[in-house]
Chain A
């Protein structure tokens, strides 16, 4: 009698004849080759640079970066003390209530099996921005990560995100339920910039993704950024083989996204809610008649 593995191996070939385009087949085979080559090399120092930050709980690291007030001014990352954005003129929010956040996940499909392995939060503390990245180096630390999220959202926190209402907050809420933490984090006030950006620029830009908003409103292009779609693979690579190189690039990508979020947020403060729907040239913010 065959053992389980051998039977499975044989059976694997027989599921529905998948429609494989030659391209997909090649890229898969190449990916396998690369993996093989890397395995043959063993762990080189380039594959396993050290992860930044400190271990907050078993399997959960916290990496903190502070940006002082002076550098902010120079970099154009400053904000007024109190914010009353055009898309929500009824609210006034103090700068230290803000929690700009973004997550990196094991996939995009949603559902109970989706893992959030990196949570980045940007908040104002004292006289500058404090960037916190919670990195899950083991799925066992999920509960600790969720608790960190709940703490970040506590009190009068005001969330700022890009598509967080439909993706990140429900994903975190799923995790809260899974760990029996019935918090009110999902009820926290939340400015999801995707909506004002869409209202102002849908049909004007080719799309309303964050990188597009960043390019059009801020005039910045990213160069050495790891595409977000590579994040799931990078995390699995880390879990399977301990390779940190791409995981570090995911952390960098997350920081890029948070900076972009901050810059887009600042830019959108200047865009009236009823912005004229005219094409915007790269890097220019349309001047409103009222301004």
Chain B
């Protein structure tokens, strides 16, 4: 999408953008601008766009033409017509147009036409079961409209085994997800031989969601699919659909390994949309403390609902979804006799609960829905007027997707991005041009991650033997095959490697996360045992420790017992006035070094590291006041991770020379880590959680973090707090690491662009107008602690690491942007 944005600095053009015809959204925008001028740092208006149309092409089967006409479709949007033309010419294509621009018609038309005229088959891949089911419902509607007789079936975990045979042999269109393709279809491809032999189209929707680790897995599943297609002698055409990302063509090509024709110019009509950047008012400007994003969002939601408009609220975490839902329910749902106007929606809820919420939304029975990124995808929830983002989602693409949830109809819509006090949020809200002028991030995948590659080579070898000459992706994988032979999994016989193991490798590989085993949350209030939610392995330690308050639809349960091995958390209903937040710390140990370079008075390194994350306790936080009302201990197994990292260390001499105390140096390293993490996130165009940060000694002797009291604190490998001055050698290092087992390819480019990264971090910190340091530069400082100056210490650490003059550090755009400051 080229956001035809009219950017205006609020001060200079207040009131310049007036709505032509007063509508309720525009009225709300006007009210917000009058009342909360100081909070709005930028406004952008995308004017309404009329539709552009083209006739339905002549080569279309008359039955299909009739079906379209019976549903009132007499012409196509220009991008639909373009897709049909490209596909008719035999090319692969990727369609990247906004939400609700009629993307499905881009592929359904050609697929149905080929099914009618050539009995050609199609495979549809959707990232989730729910999206697949929506799709089949839509296809069947079109099908019924003119009795086309095309058979479309979903094939997923819910498909009964006696129906599977019919899907395999009779389905013209099989709609499934990458997980089923990986675990059930490809390993049993011979049963699908008939289907594969006539396979003509492969449709992959929501390709932007296949990035990072999941994307690397899916790219490998598609390589396996390609091998199977080659085996059956077919060359299907690929049709990919994507939300707005910076590189739809390149991403679809990386995912499929095939050249793609990109269609990005939407011909669908659009209503006008308003976008406001909202910075909560400062409370303590010197410490950079502002009113919370949470309180601002709940105020904006109240104003939206009172104006008779419907809102979707996006929160950054599952916990925040529950907290915000509670605040809104306290206002709008205090009468239990009336149907709820506010509902929460997030991963971890049981499917039925989510389906119900989707249905209620479509029916217009709910006025506000509070969600995590779970609703970024195209789950059909009907039309909404206002999208409120509690915190910057971490990427331009995700922000646009969330904002795109408002304004499906041809009427005005409003999106408000409310910044938290985090550095990334503050950077974006103070430098709106970063968001408004830049194209969205590039989706990144690196399918050749060691462990992921090895996993899928296993699966591929199970599906078909490898020969000497075989390529897998672009790679010569003989070394992997030799390794698997040594493990006794493959047997080499002349020029072929055969699978001889007794296992079914796909069962051991989960595309969604590396560590397997979801936890179930079991409610045993009143002696019954009911499952109320599911939590994935990686977040279990942070949300299901004993004593934790676990919320579903903002109703609190308390975790009484966590059965780690059995993957169960037992909870009972409770009525407390607080929620809980885990305290964790991380230590790292380098295992192998891939690259090293001098960096000022220290060194920069890139390599493989072992990361241990431990949850040590939790805080109890009271609702509304957000004061900390207590702590609890947690005793859980460590979370371990082996991944790639980039790190910096200074010579002990430089530290001794430049810092009066070790405390000061430690503050400096922690502040530098905070700033480096922020700029690395922007530079990598990844989400903040994809990248981990840590400070510690290089040899795993100790690690450092900001304690609950806001100060630097050192802990030994076994977790005890250490005295900074008692450590024999004090040589801290600051690490940025890929936050996934095996790595996802973020740290290597960071190592290569280290100069740029350091300059940008220095720019971020030195340009911040706070005093001692603040959440927007080196991390929050508690009030009453202003005599510390982590900001200047962090600047010293960063400056010492920078290569001195001569080796001209490139300046990136980031550093050239206006220095951030408080208003």
Which residues in A have their C-beta under 8 angstroms from that of B451?
A: 11
A23 to chain B, nearest CB (A): 15
Which residues in A have their C-beta under 8 angstroms from that of B188?
A: 110-112
Residues 376-394 of B contacting A (Cβ, < 8 Å):
none
Contact of A16 among B488, B503, B505, B517 (CB under 8 A): B517
Which residues in B have their C-beta under 8 angstroms from that of A239?
A: 491, 500
Complex: how many Å from CA A59 to CA B494?
Answer: 12
Which residues in B have their C-beta under 8 angstroms from that of A173?
A: 190
How does the 8 Å CB contact mask read for B490-502 relative to A, with 1 for contact and 0 for none? 0101101011111
Chain A: interface residue count, which band?
A: 35 or more
Q: A5-B483, A140-B494, A177-B193 are in contact. Are A106 and B500 (CB under 8 A)?
A: yes
B189 touches A107 (CB 8 A): no
Q: Which of B479, B480, B499, B608 has the most chain A CB atoms closer than 10 A to its own CB?
A: B499
B508 to chain A, nearest CB (A): 9
Which residues in A have their C-beta under 8 angstroms from that of B641?
A: 14
B502 touches A106 (CB 8 A): yes
How does the 8 Å CB contact mask read for A88-122 relative to B, with 1 for contact and 0 for none? 00000000000000000011111111010000000
B450 touches A7 (CB 8 A): yes
Contact of A11 among B480, B501, B505, B742 (CB under 8 A): B742
Which residues in A have their C-beta under 8 angstroms from that of B565?
A: 19
B230 to chain A, nearest CB (A): 13
A112 touches B501 (CB 8 A): no
- Per the CB 8 Å criterion, the residue count for chain B at the interface is 47
B509 to chain A, nearest CB (A): 10
Contact of B499 among A6, A11, A113 (CB under 8 A): A113
B504 in the interface, Cβ–Cβ < 8 Å? Answer: yes
B198 to chain A, nearest CB (A): 15
B500 touches A236 (CB 8 A): yes
B640 touches A14 (CB 8 A): yes
Whose C-beta in chain B lies nearest to the C-beta of A59? B493
Whose C-beta in chain B lies nearest to the C-beta of A235? B500
B623 in the interface, Cβ–Cβ < 8 Å? Answer: no
A2 in the interface, Cβ–Cβ < 8 Å? Answer: yes
B516 in the interface, Cβ–Cβ < 8 Å? Answer: yes
- Interface locus among B64-72, B457-465, B715-723, B757-765: B457-465
Complex: how many Å from CA A158 to CA B339?
Answer: 66
A174 in the interface, Cβ–Cβ < 8 Å? Answer: yes
Complex: how many Å from CA A14 to CA B450?
Answer: 13
Complex: how many Å from CA A2 to CA B517?
Answer: 31
A178 in the interface, Cβ–Cβ < 8 Å? Answer: yes
Which residues in A have their C-beta under 8 angstroms from that of B191?
A: 174
B303 in the interface, Cβ–Cβ < 8 Å? Answer: no
Complex: how many Å from CA A112 to CA B504?
Answer: 10
B209 to chain A, nearest CB (A): 23
A64 to chain B, nearest CB (A): 25
B190 touches A112 (CB 8 A): yes
B642 touches A14 (CB 8 A): yes
Which residues in A have their C-beta under 8 angstroms from that of B608?
A: 2, 7, 10
B741 in the interface, Cβ–Cβ < 8 Å? Answer: yes
Residues 1-51 of A contacting B (Cβ, < 8 Å):
1-2, 4-8, 10-11, 13-17, 19
B434 in the interface, Cβ–Cβ < 8 Å? Answer: no
B592 touches A2 (CB 8 A): yes
Complex: how many Å from CA A111 to CA B192?
Answer: 11
A272 to chain B, nearest CB (A): 30
B309 in the interface, Cβ–Cβ < 8 Å? Answer: no
Contact of B187 among A13, A16, A108, A112 (CB under 8 A): A112
A10 touches B642 (CB 8 A): yes
B817 in the interface, Cβ–Cβ < 8 Å? Answer: no
Q: A4-B479, A236-B500 are in contact. Are A111 and B514 (CB under 8 A)?
A: no
Whose C-beta in chain B lies nearest to the C-beta of A105? B502
Which residues in A have their C-beta under 8 angstroms from that of B624?
A: none
Contact of A178 among B190, B454, B493 (CB under 8 A): B190
A240 in the interface, Cβ–Cβ < 8 Å? Answer: yes
A167 to chain B, nearest CB (A): 14
Which residues in A have their C-beta under 8 angstroms from that of B483?
A: 4-5, 8
B585 in the interface, Cβ–Cβ < 8 Å? Answer: no
Whose C-beta in chain B lies nearest to the C-beta of A142? B498
Complex: how many Å from CA A287 to CA B465?
Answer: 53
B586 to chain A, nearest CB (A): 15
Which residues in B have their C-beta under 8 angstroms from that of A115?
A: 498-500
B435 in the interface, Cβ–Cβ < 8 Å? Answer: no
8 new A-B contacts at CB < 8 Å, known A110-B504, A138-B493? A14-B741, A16-B517, A16-B537, A106-B500, A109-B502, A113-B505, A177-B193, A236-B501
* Chain B residues at the A interface, C-beta cutoff of 8 Å: 187-191, 193, 450-451, 454, 461-465, 479-480, 483, 488, 491, 493-494, 496, 498-505, 507, 514-517, 537, 565, 591-592, 594, 608, 637, 640-642, 741-742
Q: List 28 A-B contacts (CB under 8 A).
A: A2-B608, A4-B479, A4-B480, A5-B483, A8-B483, A11-B741, A14-B641, A59-B493, A106-B500, A106-B502, A107-B501, A107-B502, A109-B502, A109-B504, A110-B188, A110-B504, A111-B187, A111-B504, A112-B187, A112-B463, A113-B187, A113-B462, A139-B491, A139-B493, A177-B190, A178-B464, A233-B502, A235-B500
* Chain A residues at the B interface, C-beta cutoff of 8 Å: 1-2, 4-8, 10-11, 13-17, 19, 59, 106-113, 115, 138-140, 173-174, 177-178, 232-233, 235-236, 239-240
Please name the 8 residue pairs, one residue from A and one from B, whose CB atoms are nearest each other, closest first: A107-B502, A113-B462, A139-B498, A109-B504, A177-B190, A232-B502, A113-B499, A111-B187
